[in-house]
Amino acid sequence: MRVIAIDGPAGSGKSTVAKAVATRLGLAYLDTGAMYRAIAFEAMRRGIDPADAGPVATLAREVDLAVGEKVLVDGVDATIEIRSPEVTRAVSTVAANPAVRQELVARQREWVKAHDGAVVEGRDIGTVVFPSADLKVYLTADDQERASRRSKEMLDLQYDQVAADIARRDHIDSTRPASPLSVADDAIRIDTTGRNIDIVVEEVLALAAQEETADETSAQGTDHDQTRRGEAR
Ligand code: DC
């Protein structure tokens, strides 16, 4: 089972790169941020305060989530709603809830197993969800560029507001006690500031190809060693 982890903060280019890499490699694609967003959305829809840890955790354990091209929450299509500014503002609080993380991490591992591998994007994929991923990429971009990418996506919001929301989210995501956003020791960092995202995709594909070759070589090495050991016996 091949797993490629793509982590990084909001606006670093993760989704675009992860989707394109998955398509090119014929792997499934999992957006784990969409799962945290779905819990935040459903909590608000049911009138649960996103900061109310117990009820939000119960909801995370009980709700039916289907994440793919569309995001279905208890069978209802919430693909568009989970991207709303309200959900975006509430999601970091939900994602800081350790019981929610425990539940969603388990679901993410199951999802990837059921799809026989995937390109998985998030914040803690290389550090917590799949610490032995075949390839770990950590994307970054400077704050201004991340805010301007996001404000272009959200036509109804002003740049200043988006920049403030991103800074607030970055702060919560990277200072929370439960699996904060951090770079895995063995992740390859790519700064996407001022770079064409197609070139970044090619760079990640080249890393994936290198990793595959290295993997095959070491597997052959192991076979060879086993044969030699077999011969010696
Ligand atoms: O990538 P995104 O903006 O859709 O993520 C939404 C929120 O979920 C964001 O505040 C960080 C959080 N998140 C997380 O804590 N762990 C993940 N694996 C993915 C997202």
Of the candidates 173, 163, 160, 161, the one whose C-alpha atom is nearest the C-alpha of residue 143 is: 163
Spell out the domains of the chain, with CATH numbers in brackets: 2-213 (3.40.50.300)
- For 118-127, what is each residue's pLDDT tens digit? 999 999 999 9
Q: Is the pLDDT of residue 1 over 80?
A: yes
Q: Which atom of ligand 1 is nearest to the CA of 88?
A: 6
Structure tokens at 217: 């070589």
Instruction: Give me the pLDDT at residue 180, please.
Output: 86
Instruction: Give me the pLDDT at residue 2, please.
Output: 97
Strand ranges for the chain from DSSP E = 2-7, 28-31, 65-67, 71-73, 76-77, 117-122, 135-140, 188-191
How far does the centroid of ligand 1 lie from the alpha carbon of residue 232, in Å? 53
State whether residue 25 is helix, strand or coil: helix
**Number of Cβ atoms within 10 Å of the Cβ of 168:** 12
Structure tokens at 71: 């995001």
Percentage helix, strand, coil for the chain under 3-state DSSP, each rounded to 5: 60, 15, 25
How far does the centroid of ligand 1 lie from the alpha carbon of residue 222, in Å? 38
**Number of Cβ atoms within 10 Å of the Cβ of 44:** 17
Instruction: Give me the pLDDT at residue 152, please.
Output: 79
- For 158-212, what is each residue's pLDDT tens digit? 888 888 889 988 899 889 898 888 899 999 999 999 999 999 999 999 999 998 8
Query: Could you tell which of 36, 124, 170 is best to mutate to test the pocket of ligand 1, judged by most ligand atoms within 8 Å of the CB?
Result: 36
Q: In the predicted model, what is the mean pLDDT of the chain? A: 91
Q: Which atom of ligand 1 is nearest to the CA of 15?
A: 1
CA distances from 173 to 41, 74, 123, 145, 227 (A): 18, 26, 8, 19, 49
Q: Is the pLDDT of residue 231 over 50?
A: no
Protein residue closest via CA to atom 16 of ligand 1:
123
How far does the centroid of ligand 1 lie from the alpha carbon of residue 180, in Å? 10
Instruction: Give me the pLDDT at residue 149, please.
Output: 86
- The pLDDT > 70 percentage for the chain reads 93
For residues 115, 119, 120, 123, the Cα torsion angle rounded to the nearest 10 degrees is 170
Does 219 or 222 have the greater pLDDT score? Answer: 219
Q: Is the pLDDT of residue 15 over 90?
A: yes
Strands 71-73 and 117-122: unpaired
* Rg value, the chain, Cα: 19
Distance (Å, whole) CA 100 – CA 54: 9
The 65-67 sheet, strands edge to edge: 65-67, 71-73, 76-77
Instruction: Give me the pLDDT at residue 227, please.
Output: 41
Instruction: Give me the pLDDT at residue 232, please.
Output: 36
pLDDT tier at 216 (50, 70, 90 boundaries)?
A: confident
Protein residue closest via CA to atom 3 of ligand 1:
10
Of the candidates 87, 103, 89, 71, the one whose C-alpha atom is nearest the C-alpha of residue 178 is: 103
How far does the centroid of ligand 1 lie from the alpha carbon of residue 217, in Å? 35
Instruction: Give me the pLDDT at residue 159, please.
Output: 85
Span of 28-32, 38-42, 221-225 with lowest mean pLDDT? 221-225
Q: Is the pLDDT of residue 221 over 90?
A: no
C-alpha 28, offset from chain centre: 13
Span of 61-65, 88-92, 156-160, 174-178 with lowest mean pLDDT? 156-160
